[in-house]
Chains A and B, each alone.
Chain A
Amino acid sequence: MKSKTVFSEKLRADILQLKAMYPIAQSALIPALHRVQEEKGHLEPNSMLEVAQLLGIPPIEVMKTGTFYTMFHHKPVGKYRVQVCVNLTCSMLGGRHLLSHLEEKLGIKDGETTSDGLFTLIGVQCLGACHEAPVVQINNDYHSLVSEKKLDTLLSSLRSGAKR
């Protein structure tokens, strides 16, 4: 049974191009899932099926790998993923307080998304930037030496940017 396409032409082409880079197709799986998530926000079952089809690998392989890694989301996430480091150096310098501050401010718990779909709050493990602790990564961007005030400013600028 052929599942119907949920990808754009461009996305399909990109995945096939990734596939061609490696000696075995499955090596392109993680890069392909990154691409899909970039475009669709999270990995739906249909998307994973289509990745399997494009790479010519069993869907179960896509499921197995797709569910192993913390950066892959299987439920809708906010436009901005606010990732607060809760590991040692950041915690020593206030990281976990930032997380509680955000939980309060956004009215959501670690792992949840605001009802307007703007922010998903995630406590994450060491981001490899401990000299800049506490560190918060919003989508792909690192923010260093973050304070509550700095976070508040950051979030409101993202909020007003999103409205425009």
Chain B
Amino acid sequence: MSEPMKTLLAPDRNPSLEKYLARGGYASYQELFKKSPKEVVDMVSTSGLRGRGGAGFPTGRKWSFIPEKSQRPKYVVCNADEGEPGTFKDREILEGNPHLLIEGMVACGYAIGSNQGYIYIRGEFYAGYLRCVEAVKEARAKGYLGQSINGKFAFDIIVHRGAGAYICGEETALLDSLEGERGQPRLKPPFPAVEGLFRGPTVVNNVETFASVPLLLINGLDWYKSFGSPNNYGPKLFAISGNVTKPGVYELPMGISFKDFIYKTAGGLPKGRTLKAVIPGGSSTSLLLPKQIDIPLDYDSIAKAGSSLGSAAIIVIDDSNCMVMTAKILTEFYHHESCGKCTPCREGLSWIEQIYHRLESGQGKASDIPLLLDLCDQIVGNTFCPLADGAVPIIHDTIIHFRSEYEAHIAGKCCEQKH
């Protein structure tokens, strides 16, 4: 079993700037400014760092899409909207290690030729917002942000609060929200790298993605690649919650045993309970069954098992849970968060939610099961953004693997578990 690490996470949660500096904080700037911007992009590409927000897109490649010359200013945007149910890892950096995020955003700014960054933080994270605002001020006062960083480069950051909308985590909805609009996804192309914030070329990355970059700069490629396996490198944050005795955020090398993570690191299930299913990467990812978790915890292994590492938010579900109610709760969430732009999402999820309410109150019909599957079918691939696609796995998977629970609900022998 691997011991949890403290590199993305601060060893002393929320250190003062002095303490941060004393153990090498902001030292990545020396490495950064020794390199040309292109060398920085190349290093990030070679490291294999993949976006930590959910899609796992190679970060270096994303940065390389930014045109060198641009009429409009370029922007660096940090996605700190963290709203995928089960996900609470970025909050640890925002509240507990914000200077690392700042360092990473400066590195991105230098690499792509941008002088302005924004941290878009979900409105509910008020403590994280205050901490980031303060950290930006501290960094400015010491010249780690501002007109002349190391005498070489100008970069500043504005911390911007959202106001409650999961869809604003989708990167183009986030940009609209940052421009003061309703948060609704934009038509792509143009992609943000070409036309993003204020129509300038824009990189949008997750909090943890940016925070990984200074570690890479300071410790080098060999260090970075000593964690995990090809295409799955690096230290990584994993958030685990649900029916485990030690829920929390753990920093671990990619590729540790998924089973050990649940049963050892996170303390295993409460006494007397047995594992029913695991959601491995946030509520939008497919269920894994107990027999499927004897695998390494990384992007490719989980994809091979038929799901996705997503935002690395693991929800452990034991035998005390009714899977029909589990799917109902998440359906309510996706329906509530649908931005309303397209019909399959807006109407489809509303319809599915009604079916679940019917099942819950013992009014379900045998035809509801095929109807749910059919509705799922009509949603997947037919919506404007991936929000609605993310609503489908829990519905589909609970029907496929736990059909008898649906049938019990329909037969009026529903579980005692009312939610």
Q: Which residues of A line the B interface, CB within 8 A? A: 21-31, 33-34, 57, 61, 64-65, 68-72, 86-89, 91-93, 96, 124-133, 137, 140-142
A125:B181 contact, CB within 8 angstroms: no
Q: How far is the CB of A76 from chain B (nearest CB, A)?
A: 18
A140 and B125 CA atoms in complex are apart in Å by: 8
A128:B87 contact, CB within 8 angstroms: yes
Q: How far is the CB of A6 from chain B (nearest CB, A)?
A: 21
B161:A31 contact, CB within 8 angstroms: yes
Q: B69 within 8 Å of A by Cβ?
A: no
A144 and B252 CA atoms in complex are apart in Å by: 24
A57 and B180 CA atoms in complex are apart in Å by: 11
A131:B88 contact, CB within 8 angstroms: yes
B317:A92 contact, CB within 8 angstroms: yes
- A68-B165, A86-B329 are known contacts. Are A92 and B124 too (CB-CB below 8 A)? no
Q: Return 6 A-B CB contacts under 8 Å, by A number.
A: A30-B177, A61-B181, A88-B326, A125-B85, A126-B333, A131-B249
B85:A71 contact, CB within 8 angstroms: no
Q: How far is the CB of A123 from chain B (nearest CB, A)?
A: 10
Q: Which of A28, A65, A125, A128 has the most CB of B within 10 A?
A: A128
A45 and B69 CA atoms in complex are apart in Å by: 44
B85:A69 contact, CB within 8 angstroms: no
Q: B160 within 8 Å of A by Cβ?
A: yes
- A68-B165, A87-B85 are known contacts. Are A92 and B125 too (CB-CB below 8 A)? no
Contact with A along B150-163 (1 / 0, CB 8 A): 00000000101111
- A24-B198, A126-B85 are known contacts. Are A131 and B239 too (CB-CB below 8 A)? yes
Residues of chain A lying within 8 A (CB to CB) of residue B82: 128
Q: How far is the CB of A136 from chain B (nearest CB, A)?
A: 12
Which of B88, B162, B315, B325 lies in contact with A129, CB distance below 8 A?
Answer: B88
Q: B182 within 8 Å of A by Cβ?
A: yes
Residues of chain A lying within 8 A (CB to CB) of residue B122: 128
Residues of chain A lying within 8 A (CB to CB) of residue B243: 92
A92:B337 contact, CB within 8 angstroms: no
A63 and B125 CA atoms in complex are apart in Å by: 24
Known: A28-B180, A88-B329, A92-B326. 18 other contacts (CB 8 A): A21-B158, A30-B163, A34-B161, A34-B163, A61-B180, A70-B163, A71-B164, A72-B164, A86-B332, A88-B330, A126-B86, A128-B87, A128-B88, A128-B124, A130-B86, A131-B240, A131-B247, A137-B124
A58 and B368 CA atoms in complex are apart in Å by: 47
- A69-B165, A88-B329, A125-B337 are known contacts. Are A26 and B124 too (CB-CB below 8 A)? no
Contact with A along B65-101 (1 / 0, CB 8 A): 0000000010000000011111110110000000000
Q: Which of B160, B163, B419 has the most CB of A within 10 A?
A: B163
Q: B63 within 8 Å of A by Cβ?
A: no
A55 and B125 CA atoms in complex are apart in Å by: 25
Q: B29 within 8 Å of A by Cβ?
A: no
A131:B248 contact, CB within 8 angstroms: yes
Residues of chain A lying within 8 A (CB to CB) of residue B84: 126
